[in-house]
């Protein structure tokens, strides 16, 4: 079994799995801009979450769309595919596929707060169904015995009093890595992440599964802040989500000038077009969601953004951006 998590230097960083955000084009941007001597020593990239039932049983068209979520380039390694479902058999099959596709790891989503996912007894609902969560971890291990298996979850469902028993249940399954988003499901992302709970989670990890790599998640806005949190609270790495929007050089030395932001957005649009839009895997509206994060913070940004939002194709958007420099 190969476990890349144990080969990372501490503190390391992960780019969080984010639906319709961390697709192959977005990840390629981070791989390109983190590939310098100044960048953090190791960056782990995650795919968007992918439903296991569709991967295993969808019709050809559905399968093609889902497999596109699991496309990556070698530059993006180490790379982890995130999957979810409440059926152990389907999770086993999906994990097997993830291993066949050459991923470095497979992650189980046990933290998604969205109602449609909760209704399927997936994501954060598993916090209230610990026996099923255990079965799912075991199924994924059976399906992908040669790669690292990890879990991403929250500190509880509606109360942080769930934390000790829930995280102990997960840790007893000895995942290779565990990411804890330091909020409950009920808190969604509305309150500040409770990093002060991390030392208690570290203690549980040390007691139950000392070999599990522990990653903290929530509200990290810079590499420096992430390094401070690791130092202060004792986890091994940090996962960054929203803080990295529009900032492919987040894990390097972010340059916030207008010219650089515009240039990065042009590159991102081109990659999105080539890898996702032209092959028919994603619509242009998905790319549009990134514009606000790139274009902001200087005089005239609002007007440029309005023109950009009105553009109806990658070619038009790039024309607007070139005019805006
Ligand atoms: C647009 C969006 C999509 C997300 N999709 C996923 C997902 O597919 N899988 C997952 O585990 N978490 C998902 N998350 C949660 C993030 O991975 C992360 O846990 C959360 O945003 C907290 O980290 P942050 O404060 O650094 O953003 C998503 C978050 C956002 C904002």
Residue 250 in domain: no
| CA of residue 168 to ligand 1 center, whole Å | 23
Residues 239 and 262 in one domain: no
Ligand 1 atom with least separation from CA of 217? 23
Whether residue 276 is contained in a domain is answered as yes
**Catalytic residue, candidates 14, 96, 112, 235:** 112
User: Domain for residue 100, yes or no?
Assistant: yes
Instruction: Determine, yes or no, domain membership for 164.
Output: yes
The residue among 191, 214, 244 that closes a domain is 244
Residue 24 inside a domain? The answer is yes
CATH number at residue 178: 3.20.20.70
Q: Is the CB of 292 under 6 A from ligand 1?
A: no
Same-domain status, 115 and 197: yes
Residue numbers of the domain that contains 276: 258-324
Instruction: Output the residue whose Cα is nearest ligand 1's atom 2.
Output: 18
* pTM score: 0.96
Shared domain check, 57 and 190: yes
Task: Report yes or no on 231 lying in a domain.
Answer: yes
Of 244, 275, 308, the position where a domain reaches its end is 244
Residue closest by Cα to atom 1 of ligand 1: 18
Q: Is residue 253 part of a domain?
A: no
Considering the domain architecture, whether residues 127 and 161 belong to the same structural domain is answered as: yes
Residue owning the nearest CA to atom 10 of ligand 1: 17
153 and 273 fall within a common domain: no
Q: Are residues 69 and 190 in the same domain?
A: yes
- Judgement on whether residues 151 and 290 belong to the same structural domain of the protein: no
- Indicate whether 59 belongs to any domain: yes
Q: Which of 219, 244, 269 is the last residue of a domain?
A: 244
- Cα 16 to averaged position of ligand 1 atoms, centre (Å): 6
Ligand 1 probe mutation, 222, 241, 244, 288, most atoms within 8 A of CB: 241
Mutate to test the pocket of ligand 1, among 13, 15, 16 (most ligand atoms within 8 A of CB): 16
What is the chain's pLDDT, residue by residue, as a tens digit (325 residues)?
889 999 998 899 999 999 999 999 999 999 999 977 677 778 999 999 999 888 877 788 888 888 899 999 999 999 999 999 999 999 999 999 999 999 999 999 999 999 999 999 999 999 999 999 999 999 999 999 999 999 999 999 999 899 999 999 999 999 999 999 999 999 998 899 999 999 999 999 999 999 999 999 999 999 999 999 999 999 999 999 999 999 999 999 899 899 999 999 999 999 999 999 999 999 999 999 999 999 999 999 999 999 999 999 999 999 999 985 4
Structural domains counted in the chain: 2
Q: Are residues 297 and 184 in the same domain?
A: no
226 lines ligand 1 (CB under 6 A): no
- Ligand 1 mean position, distance from CA 207 (Å): 28
Separation of 181 CA from ligand 1 center, angstroms?
Answer: 9
Those residues whose C-beta lies under 8 Å from the C-beta of residue 162, and which sit 6 or more positions away, are 127, 155, 156, 184
Do 31 and 131 reside in the same domain of the chain?
Answer: yes
Residues 276 and 207 in one domain: no
Ligand 1 lined by 109 (C-beta under 6 Å): yes
Q: How far is the CA of 18 from the centre of ligand 1 (A)?
A: 5
Ligand 1 binding pocket includes 19 (Cβ within 6 Å): yes
Residues 215 and 265 in one domain: no
CB 111 near ligand 1, within 6 Å = yes
Is residue 14 domain-shared with residue 119, that is, in the same domain?
A: yes
Does the beta carbon of 194 sit less than 6 angstroms from any atom of ligand 1? no
- In the annotation, is 112 catalytic? yes
């Amino acid at each position: 079994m190969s476990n890349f998590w144990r080969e990372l230097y501490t503190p390391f960083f992960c780019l969080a799995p984010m639906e319709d955000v961390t697709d192959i084009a977005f990840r390629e941007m981070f791989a390109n801009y983190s590939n310098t001597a100044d960048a953090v020593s190791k960056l782990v990239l995650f795919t968007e979450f992918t439903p296991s039932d569709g991967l295993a049983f969808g019709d050809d068209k559905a399968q093609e769309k889902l497999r596109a979520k699991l496309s990556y380039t070698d530059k993006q390694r180490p790379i982890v595919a995130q999957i979810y479902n409440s059926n152990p058999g389907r999770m086993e099959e999906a994990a097997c596929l993830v291993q066949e596709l050459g991923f470095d790891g497979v992650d189980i989503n046990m933290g998604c707060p969205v109602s449609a996912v909760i209704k399927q007894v997936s994501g954060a609902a598993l916090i209230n169904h610990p026996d099923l969560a255990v079965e799912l971890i075991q199924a994924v291990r059976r399906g992908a015995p040669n790669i690292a298996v990890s879990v991403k979850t929250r500190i509880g469902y509606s109360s942080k009093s769930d934390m000790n028993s829930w995280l102990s249940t997960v840790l007893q399954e000895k995942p290779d890595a565990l990411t804890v988003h330091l909020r409950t499901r009920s808190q969604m992302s509305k309150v500040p992440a409770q990093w002060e709970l991390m030392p208690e989670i570290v203690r549980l990890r040390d007691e139950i599964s000392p070999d599990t790599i522990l990653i903290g998640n929530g509200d990290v806005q810079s590499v420096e802040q992430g390094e401070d949190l690791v130092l202060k609270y004792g986890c091994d790495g940090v996962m960054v989500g929203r803080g990295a929007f529009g900032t492919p050089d987040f894990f390097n030395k972010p340059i916030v000038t207008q010219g650089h932001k515009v240039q990065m957005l042009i590159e991102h649009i081109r990659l999105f077009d080539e890898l996702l839009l032209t092959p028919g895997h994603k619509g242009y509206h998905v790319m549009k969601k990134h514009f606000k994060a790139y274009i902001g913070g200087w005089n005239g940004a609002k007007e440029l953004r309005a023109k950009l939002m009105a553009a109806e194709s990658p070619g038009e958007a790039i024309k607007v951006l070139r005019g805006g420099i």
